[in-house]
A and B are shown apart, each in its own frame.
Chain A
Amino acid sequence: GQSLEQPSEVTAVEGAIVQINCTYQTSGFYGLSWYQQHDGGAPTFLSYNALDGLEETGRFSSFLSRSDSYGYLLLQELQMKDSASYFCAVKHQGGKLIFGQGTELSVKP
């Protein structure tokens, strides 16, 4: 079967660093994507890791370890506007994405 696991909720304070983990179990793994979704909004693409290592884009970084079937999204210098749901998604053979259940991040002042 195929499954992804990520925490359902994370809370952090403004200015802090938070890490959202994602573990997956799937055949035909091609890479790991991350999406952000604000309440009532559409998911927006954040990052994609096909190879092991860290990818940095501004305040956000994403990490992948294929041998551990594990990845994470790192958010630095948290801002109130970062409060949203974050989804990891495995890119499967055939090009489709399989999404995790999402992590709701609450940033407190």
Chain B
Amino acid sequence: DVKVTQSSRYLVKRTGEKVFLECVQDMDHENMFWYRQDPGLGLRLIYFSYDVKMKEKGDIPEGYSVSREKKERFSLILESASTNQTSMYLCASSPPAQGGSEQYFGPGTRLTVT
């Protein structure tokens, strides 16, 4: 079974803090994605990566950056957390054969910024 793990289920941070969200997958997938999920808005893509050291902006990249130094790990960074970044953050991975159509999600990190 594909396993995607995220470093924390719940996180509380203060406005202005730098926040790191970590995601690790164990299936040697090339593609990895970061989404945020808010009620009534579905999942919105923040950043994605097709390979180590590669990154592409998604639909809402403002206020975020990412790092992919190793194939299995994809980190989301909030440079200076703000209250409007309070959300559920979901990481996903997919093999290149699926081209992103079948993604495997981690359990999510519920981030609260106060």
Contact = CB atoms under 8 A, between A and B. Distances in A.
Given A43-B43, A43-B90, A91-B99, A98 B105 contact: no
A98 B59 contact: yes
Interface stretch (A13-21, A53-61, A74-82, A99-107): A99-107
A84 interface: no
A102 B100 CA distance: 19
Given A42-B108, A98-B45, A98-B59, A48 B40 contact: no
Contacts of B99: 30, 91, 95
Interface residues of A, number: 23
Contact of A48 (B33, B102, B106): B102
A45 B42 contact: no
Interface string B30-55: 01010100001111110010100000
A4 to B, nearest CB: 8
A81 to B, nearest CB: 19
A94 interface: yes
Which 8 A-B pairs give the minimum distances between C-beta atoms? Answer: A95-B100, A42-B105, A99-B43, A101-B42, A99-B42, A48-B101, A45-B102, A91-B101
A29 to B, nearest CB: 12
Interface residues of B, number: 28
B103 A41 contact: no
Interface string A29-63: 01101000000011111001010000000000000
Interface of B: 4, 31, 33, 35, 40-45, 48, 50, 56, 58-59, 90, 92, 98-108
Contacts of A50: 101
A48 B42 CA distance: 18
> Which of A31, A33, A42 has the most chain B CB within a 10 Å cutoff?
A42
A98 B59 CA distance: 9
Contact of A43 (B50, B100, B105): B105
Given A91-B100, A94-B56, A96-B33, A44 B44 contact: no
A42 B102 contact: no
